[in-house]
């Protein structure tokens, strides 16, 4: 579809130029092919064509009414691959030559395979992605699902479009909470219990600290003092801190393994401890630091924001200071063209504040190269989540539940499936990711397990089932010795049905969808697209005979169409971190 859009845009642009010359509105000549290509819309109803070009925006530059422009542009317009052009009001409706599109699309998919849908837009550019980044000593709960899967999906999308990507887990491994943890451990903990209980044992200690501190607030002072000593390198505390971090990471890594996620760097907040003094010095030199009640802050009232907090009264550093230091370090280390931060919308102000501070420090790149990608809250069956009380829904419990239920369904559907456990794990975890990534990221989500796991609804298991169905048809065709699978298509003599054309048209949209998901930082575009492909493919599968079709040319076309579906679904699954299974 992209190529067609470009071709149509080029032809329309030439027409616009002629029109502008004719009526003396030369400023219309400033438009580029990309401007025009970006104006196309997809009509909601196929009767209105496959692509529509609205002329409303041109009315001002060309000083003519949109319907008049549309008529003038359509007059004598011809585009390769477009079989008909109709003028309706201020629109040009373009009808794609179906058989040309069918051949081009299928040939492109079968030739590009795993690369189909991607692009080279990011060639030579580097993107740093900061995501997941849990706070050490706390378990991985459902609130982290968003940053982890949206972040990783954005990494996949960027890599698919040619960017060099650096995924960073900016672990929350520094701050007063470690003072609390160490005080609690020394008072009430022991090594063996923590080794055995991992994050759960750490959380218990953390919860106990808060309960006790309610009764005896001096515990908070003790914790602060311990953290200040950590910042000065106290060896006993640093040893404990390292151990606590290891225990937490052990647990996080289990979750990452299930999700198929790896990071290029685990440089968390603590990594910046020794880089902080230089940043504080620079802020002072640039006259940005102000002392307020003993603390060091940056006044942002000119920008309608509360002050950005850099140092506490006791001189220990704060979260924004570590982010400023990390951004400078990353710029110098990776020379990024963009650095993306994926966190809950609750941190939007934090990012707006310190992005502004970098700008005030004179780093112009902060304006357009630092991007915060926020997402909404998650609740389970209506209940909000919190960490403080220890009353959280753990990701590992959620995954285990999903895996168990999927196993039970699979036992019924396909009891003799080889490798059943592994498949149940990927379908169960995939169901949760799919459900989560089905809504726009900024929306608040209420998680309903039954809805996520159903094999019938618009779910991950349904999508994976469809993929397995396509895989099985292709393997059967191969086993039957059909010649010409996965090779350029010959459509002469094949009567392509309406369902088939609809499916091909949807497959042709994939590169556009990838681009949209990338530019909007919105993996849900891909999730919803997967559902479109599945719906079209299942309609095709139910309506026509594939392997038992008698006409050899038609049979080969249908097998190749099925293979194309398999490639596109597989590529789309990759982008949203869903594993592919040939059999379910």
Provide the binding-site residues for ligand ARG, judged by CB under 6 A. 130, 133-135, 170, 172, 323, 341, 343
User: Among 31, 326, 354, which Cα is nearest to 169's?
Assistant: 326
Handedness of CA 374, 379, 382, 385 (dihedral sign): negative
Q: How far apart are CA 246 and CA 202, in angstroms?
A: 12
Q: Angle, to 10 degrees, between the axis of helix 552-575 and the axis of helix 524-543?
A: 160
Q: In the numeric block, which tokens belong to residue 222? A: 């003790």
Between 95 and 329, CB nearer to ligand ARG: 329
Between 103 and 152, CB nearer to ligand ARG: 152
From the CB of residue 483, how many other CB atoms can be counted at a distance below 10 Å? 7
DSSP one-letter string for 50-103: SEEEE-TTHHHHHTS-HHHHHHHHHTT---TTEEEEEEETTEEEEEE-HHHHHH
Between 128 and 494, CB nearer to ligand ARG: 128
Q: In the numeric block, which tokens belong to residue 332? A: 């110098």
Q: What's the per-residue H, E or C state across 8-59? A: HHHHHHHHHHHHHHHHCCHHHHHCCHHHHHCCCECCCCHHHCCEEEECCCHH
Q: In the numeric block, which tokens belong to residue 482? A: 């059909």
From the CB of residue 47, how many other CB atoms can be counted at a distance below 10 Å? 9
| Nearest distance in Å: CB 63, ligand ARG | 50
Please say whether the beta carbons of 151 and 165 come within 8 A. Answer: no
Please say whether the beta carbons of 263 and 132 come within 8 A. Answer: yes
Count how many residues are written for the chain: 584
| Nearest distance in Å: CB 140, ligand ARG | 10
Handedness of CA 136, 139, 144, 147 (dihedral sign): positive
Between 251 and 323, CB nearer to ligand ARG: 323
| Nearest distance in Å: CB 355, ligand ARG | 11
H helical segments located in 448-577 = 449-453, 460-479, 498-508, 510-519, 524-543, 552-575
Pairing of strands 164-168, 126-130: parallel
| Nearest distance in Å: CB 290, ligand ARG | 23
Between 163 and 271, CB nearer to ligand ARG: 271
Q: In the numeric block, which tokens belong to residue 17? A: 């130029």
DSSP one-letter string for 246-269: HHHHHHHHHHHHHHT---SB---G
DSSP one-letter string for 129-146: EE---PBTTS--BTHHHH
| Nearest distance in Å: CB 137, ligand ARG | 12
H helical segments located in 216-318 = 218-231, 235-259, 276-285
Between 357 and 431, CB nearer to ligand ARG: 357
Burial (CB count <10 Å: 0-12, 13-18, 19+), residue 506 = buried
Between 134 and 460, CB nearer to ligand ARG: 134
Between 138 and 558, CB nearer to ligand ARG: 138
Between 20 and 145, CB nearer to ligand ARG: 145
| Nearest distance in Å: CB 393, ligand ARG | 16
| Nearest distance in Å: CB 319, ligand ARG | 7
| Nearest distance in Å: CB 388, ligand ARG | 13
Between 336 and 529, CB nearer to ligand ARG: 336
Residue facing ligand ARG at closest CB distance: 172
| Nearest distance in Å: CB 321, ligand ARG | 11
User: Which residues are CB-neighbours of 379 under 8 A, at least 6 positions away?
Assistant: 385, 444, 445, 446, 447
Between 135 and 581, CB nearer to ligand ARG: 135
Q: How far apart are CA 525 and CA 504, in angstroms?
A: 18
| Nearest distance in Å: CB 133, ligand ARG | 4
| Nearest distance in Å: CB 318, ligand ARG | 12
| Nearest distance in Å: CB 385, ligand ARG | 13
* Start-to-end C-alpha separation, the chain: 33
| Nearest distance in Å: CB 174, ligand ARG | 10
Provide the greatest CA pair distance for the chain.
86
Between 53 and 355, CB nearer to ligand ARG: 355
Between 66 and 390, CB nearer to ligand ARG: 390
């Amino acid at each position: 579809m992209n190529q067609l859009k470009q071709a149509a845009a080029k032809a329309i642009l030439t027409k616009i130029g002629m029109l502008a010359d004719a009526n003396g509105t030369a400023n219309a000549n400033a438009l580029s092919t990309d401007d025009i290509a970006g104006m196309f819309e997809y009509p909601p109803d196929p009767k209105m064509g496959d692509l529509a070009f609205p002329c409303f925006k041109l009315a001002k530059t060309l000083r003519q009414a949109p319907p008049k422009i549309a008529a003038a542009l359509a007059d004598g317009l011809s585009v390769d691959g477009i079989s008909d052009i109709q003028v309706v009001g201020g629109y040009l409706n373009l009808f794609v030559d179906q058989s040309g599109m069918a051949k081009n699309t299928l040939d492109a998919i079968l030739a590009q395979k795993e690369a189909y849908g991607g692009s080279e837009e990011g060639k030579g550019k580097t993107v740093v992605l900061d995501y997941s980044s849990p706070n050490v000593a706390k378990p991985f709960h459902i609130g982290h699902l968003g940053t982890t899967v949206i972040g990783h999906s954005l990494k996949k999308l960027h890599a698919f479009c040619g960017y060099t990507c650096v995924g960073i887990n900016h672990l929350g491994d520094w701050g007063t909470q470690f003072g609390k943890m160490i005080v609690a451990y020394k008072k009430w903990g022991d090594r063996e219990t923590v080794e055995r209980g991992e994050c759960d044992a750490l959380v218990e200690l953390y919860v106990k600290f808060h309960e006790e501190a309610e009764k005896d607030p001096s515990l908070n002072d003790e914790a602060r003092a311990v953290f200040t000593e950590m910042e000065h390198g106290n060896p006993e505390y640093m040893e404990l801190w390292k151990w606590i971090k290891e225990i937490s990471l052990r647990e996080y890594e289990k979750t990452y393994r299930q999700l198929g996620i790896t990071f290029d760097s685990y440089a968390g907040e603590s990594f910046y401890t020794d880089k902080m003094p230089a940043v504080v010095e620079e802020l002072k030199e640039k006259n940005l630091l102000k002392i307020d009640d003993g603390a060091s802050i940056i006044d942002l009232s000119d920008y309608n924001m509360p002050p950005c907090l850099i140092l506490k009264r006791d001189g220990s550093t704060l979260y924004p200071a570590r982010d400023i230091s990390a951004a400078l370090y990353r710029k110098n280390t990776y020379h990024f063209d963009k650095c993306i931060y994926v966190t809950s919308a609750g941190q939007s102000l934090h990012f707006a504040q310190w992005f502004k501070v970098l700008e005030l420090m004179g780093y112009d790149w902060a304006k357009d190269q630092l991007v915060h990608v926020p997402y909404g809250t998650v609740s389970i069956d209506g209940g909000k989540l919190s960490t403080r009380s220890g009353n959280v829904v753990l990701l590992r419990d959620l995954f285990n539940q999903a895996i168990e239920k999927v196993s039970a369904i699979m036992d019924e559907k396909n009891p003799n499936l080889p490798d059943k456990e592994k498949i149940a794990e990927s379908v169960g975890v995939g169901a949760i990711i799919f459900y989560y990534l089905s809504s726009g990221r900024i929306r608040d989500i209420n998680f309903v397990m039954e809805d996520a796991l159903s094999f019938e609804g618009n779910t991950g298991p349904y999508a994976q089932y469809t993929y397995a169905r396509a895989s099985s048809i292709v393997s059967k065709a191969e086993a039957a010795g059909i010649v010409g699978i996965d090779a350029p298509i010959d459509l002469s003599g094949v009567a392509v049905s309406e369902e088939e054309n609809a499916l091909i048209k949807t497959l042709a949209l994939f590169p556009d969808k990838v681009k949209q998901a990338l530019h909007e930082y919105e993996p849900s575009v891909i999730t919803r697209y997967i559902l479109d492909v599945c719906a079209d493919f299942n309609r095709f599968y139910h309506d026509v005979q594939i392997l038992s079709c008698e006409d050899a040319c038609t049979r080969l076309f249908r097998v190749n169409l099925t293979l194309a579906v398999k490639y596109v679904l597989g590529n789309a699954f990759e982008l949203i971190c869903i594993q592919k299974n040939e059999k379910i």
